[in-house]
Amino acid sequence: MKKKIVVLLLVLMGLSTMAIAKKRTIVFAVDATWPPMEFVNQHKQIVGYSIDYMTAAAKEAGFIPVFKNVAWDGIFAGLAGGNYDAICSSVSITKERKKAMDFSIPYYKVRQALVVRKTSNAKSLSDLKGKKVGAQIGTTGYFAIQKVSGVIAKSYDEIGLAMQDLANGNLDGVVCDDPVAANYARQKKGFKDKLKIASIIETGEAEYYGIAVKKGNKEVLDLINKGIKAVKEKGIEKKLIKKWIK
């Protein structure tokens, strides 16, 4: 009897080991300069809403997530080159981007916000014609600035640098995703006393974040989608929004 129990335990341990071994590791590129969505904390760890979301999705779908800090200006080229499996970095799903990569189902709805100094009377981008407005290069915020005639668009490698220039008086406005705008204008030390959100910019269509994967990578996309669906259905998403955003 004891021998049978030992054999059974060995079989179960073997099956458990095989199950762990079969777990797919998915490497996510992250431009960790976009608080509260993804950023580096005081312990040099990559944290934020998107990171917690994808960690939860991984648990639900049965894959292992690895997050790799990558600069935004080369993040899409790295995906195309196979340097990682996916991008988890507040990437807005756009028609143009969908031509070059595939996207997961959306995991967050976002809007563009105009941040100005508290002394400014500007209420919209059109109020800043002839003025310099900054945004992170290659973002939907930067594209929004370029659409307004007369506004001088200035690009930055990181949104924090744009916010610093705004606080210092070197810019007249910054456009970025609304949770990031709220983080700087309402919470971040050194900025919240100087900055405010002037308005939400209506782009004419709903904007959503998605996880980007290389065209045709169905295996990775299916796993990510499975995890995102579970996070939504089990109410985990609401808890993460409450933790990081509201």
Q: Render pLDDT for 35-62 as a digit per residue (tens, 0 to 9).
A: 999 999 999 999 999 999 999 999 999 9
Distance CA 35, CA 37 (A): 5
What are the contacts of 64-67 at 24+ separation with CB within 8 A?
A: 64/23, 64/24, 64/25, 64/26, 65/25, 65/26, 65/28, 66/25, 66/26, 66/27, 66/28, 67/28, 67/30
Enter the pTM of the model.
Answer: 0.84
Furthest CA-CA distance within the chain = 86
Q: Render pLDDT for 128-149 as a digit per residue (tens, 0 to 9).
A: 999 999 999 999 999 999 999 9
Reduced to 3 states (helix: H, G, I; strand: E, B; else coil), residue 43 is coil
pLDDT at 21 over 60: no
Q: Is the domain 2-109+208-244 a CATH 3.40.190.10 member?
A: yes
pLDDT at 9 over 50: no
Reduced to 3 states (helix: H, G, I; strand: E, B; else coil), residue 20 is helix
Distance CA 101, CA 216 (A): 8
Q: Is the domain 112-201 a CATH 2.60.40.770 member?
A: no
- Answer whether 2-109+208-244 and 112-201 agree in fold: yes
Domain spans of the chain, in order of start: 2-109+208-244, 112-201
Q: Render pLDDT for 93-139 as a digit per residue (tens, 0 to 9).
A: 999 999 999 999 999 999 999 999 999 999 999 999 999 999 999 99
Tokens 């799903």 belong to 93
SS3 content of the chain, % helix, strand, coil (to 5): 40, 30, 30
The bridge status of strand 38-40 relative to strand 46-47 is antiparallel
Distance CA 202, CA 180 (A): 17
User: For the chain, how far is it from start to end, CA to CA, in angstroms?
Assistant: 58
